Structure 1
């Protein structure tokens, strides 16, 4: 009779919101390369099959019932949950005077409320119950500086709008709150705050890269590298922190 060992455990599972393009797609690819089974959530769904994403669900992250159902379904289907990365969000560039309440709340709902609902659906029902896990929330240096991009004193769209900057500041402090609340369960929560990144969201905005010490905008893969580290085993004692991926812009 041939001796057999214990059955291998399933690979770690990561949920990535906003996974169908830009930074979210780069994060999904990085985590897949690191050995995660990736479940992608996006409000539009993928434009084409993505080999980095094992399963994709169309989801509006600001809808509480949808969020809870999708997270539970992923755990049922894939058997576990180890990492949640919140990257979904909108980024309007309207001026302060020109921003309507609906536009302001649109950015709050997609960036801040969506992050809250995803974390609420994942942390205690699944991650904390397993005694392990990583939350990585993608904010922005706009949440620290009040918006990046060209000045818009004349009302010309350019600088990231007040709803976006406010929402990303909220994401940073929400993450710190979760880090204090859930840390004793073995779950960490951290933030990656990119500066200007070359994506469809920034297309058409004339960023002055002379203000960035490294002299250029970031690539999505460089943001994904920071997320990959925070999602991995080597960051186990990092909790409640913000990793700026901005070429030195904030501190320059």
Structure 2
């Protein structure tokens, strides 16, 4: 039970990677705070007897973020782990990118990560002298977008997605330098093409990968679990690519 009695907030917990992370955490003994815009009913069914708290709302709203953290403290008295997972991905190219889509991806992927990170660290993790922040970024934030099949013009994750995930990576490193003195680590998992709602209906050619298949949410959750555990106490500011080897030069 690598996370026995620890309290973990997971955003985007209703499905995909967030759901798998929540279930794995619960199996390892964690109390899980499920955060999403949509109902987490299916995730709750998978948690078994694990203690949980469901918080539904817009992670881009500072008041909602504060309310989630306050409810977490009221119910569980503390918070040990934060997984910033929820995200959106537009596939419009630069010519067709709208300000609305740009702001949506930046606000959901980067702004919300900042809001939650700030809210759990100050004062809670800082006072406890312990914490684990795990941000889900993307190899798109490292290489400018994962190419998929289909539409040649809009066949990869768009500039807003790549920019937001690049920002998550930079923020991860900055936060790690700032909070290590409080016993808090901050790391990021950077998935490649993974079978979630974001990639549903988008054909991916994985033949150029060392591991010729799409990633599964469990592949990403396994990496998150390591960063969230006490085993990673000497690991911070790391960006772990879980991408089937697509980033190999």
Which TM-score bucket, shorter chain as reference?
over 0.9
Residue in structure 2 matching 1:23, options 17, 29, 35: 17
Residue 48 of structure 2 corresponds to residue 50 of structure 1: no
SS at match of 1:112: helix
Q: Which residue of 2 aligns with 1:5?
A: none
Residue 179 of structure 2 corresponds to residue 169 of structure 1: no
Residue in structure 1 matching 2:7, options 5, 13, 24: 13
Q: TM-score, normalised by structure 1?
A: 0.92
Structure 1 segments of 4+ aligned residues over 3 angstroms from their partners: 47-51, 151-154
**Contact 1:158/1:206 (CA < 8 Å) preserved in 2?**
no
SS at match of 2:198: helix
After superposition, the Cα gap between the structure-2 partners of 1:99 and 1:162, relative to the gap in structure 1 and judged at 3 Å, is same
**Contact 2:150/2:203 (CA < 8 Å) preserved in 1?**
no
Q: Which residue of 1 aligns with 2:183?
A: 186
Q: Which residue of 1 aligns with 2:103?
A: 105
Residue 31 of structure 2 corresponds to residue 37 of structure 1: yes
Q: Which residue of 2 aligns with 1:144?
A: 142
Q: Distance in 1 between matches of 2:227 and 2:205?
A: 29
| Structure exhibiting the larger radius of gyration computed from Cα positions | 1
Q: CA deviation at 1:158?
A: 2.5
**Contact 1:149/1:205 (CA < 8 Å) preserved in 2?**
no
Which consecutive residues of structure 2, in runs of 5 or more, have no partner in the other structure? none
Q: Which residue of 2 aligns with 1:7?
A: none
SS at match of 1:209: coil
Residue in structure 1 matching 2:229, options 232, 235, 243: 232
Residue in structure 1 matching 2:219, options 194, 214, 222: 222
Q: TM-score, normalised by structure 2?
A: 0.93
Residue 161 of structure 2 corresponds to residue 158 of structure 1: no
Q: CA deviation at 1:50?
A: 3.2
Q: CA deviation at 1:47?
A: 4.3
Q: Distance in 1 between matches of 2:45 and 2:140?
A: 30
- Match runs of 1:194-209 below 5 Å: 194-209=191-206
Q: Which residue of 2 aligns with 1:65?
A: 63
Q: Distance in 1 between matches of 2:225 and 2:25?
A: 6
Q: Distance in 2 between matches of 1:144 and 1:95?
A: 17
SS at match of 2:135: strand
Q: Distance in 1 between matches of 2:80 and 2:157?
A: 32
Q: CA deviation at 1:149?
A: 2.4
Q: Distance in 1 between matches of 2:152 and 2:36?
A: 34
Q: Distance in 2 between matches of 1:64 and 1:176?
A: 22
CA-atom RMSD in angstroms: 1.5
Q: Distance in 2 between matches of 1:98 and 1:107?
A: 15
Number of matched pairs? 242
